[in-house]
Structure formats: structure tokens, C-alpha cells
Amino acid sequence: MRKIKIDVVVVPLSGHLFQTLNLLAPLLKDPLYEIRLFTGPQRKAVAEEMGFQVIHILTNSVDE
């Protein structure tokens, strides 16, 4: 069966990112879905720890 691929773009602010991660977390356990998360580098470790594949955006636009 083909995977359902989902790309999610979310700003790296806690009020936006954490709610989005919580909504998507159940799909990570389902092998039918492949999820990529596009966000800034500030919260990369948190998202990867949950199991998301993270692609950086805004890398040159944000102070760490």
C-alpha cells in the first residue's frame, strides 16, 4: 500500500509548534503516513525526539 505523505509547515514558536506536533503525533505511529515537518532550527531536537523528520526553513532569518 502506498504511503500518505504529509508536509507540514509551522513557525518555530512554542504556541504554534507544540500544538501542531501534538495533533500529528498519533499519525507517526501509523505506518501508512510519512510526515515531514518544515520549521526553524530552534525546536529541531524536540520534533526529532518525537519522531518527526525535520527540514529547516528560516535558517538565516532567526537568531538562536
> pLDDT tens-digit profile of 36-53?
999 988 888 889 999 999
What is the reported pLDDT for 12?
83
Whether residue 32 is contained in a domain is answered as yes
Residue 16 covered by a domain: yes
Q: Which stretches within 1-64 are classed as H helix?
A: 14-28, 44-50
Place 64 in a pLDDT band, splitting at 50, 70 and 90: low
Q: How high is the pLDDT of residue 63?
A: 58
Q: Cell 500544538 sits at which residue?
A: 19
Q: Residue 18 belongs to what domain range?
A: 4-59
Total of domains in the chain: 1
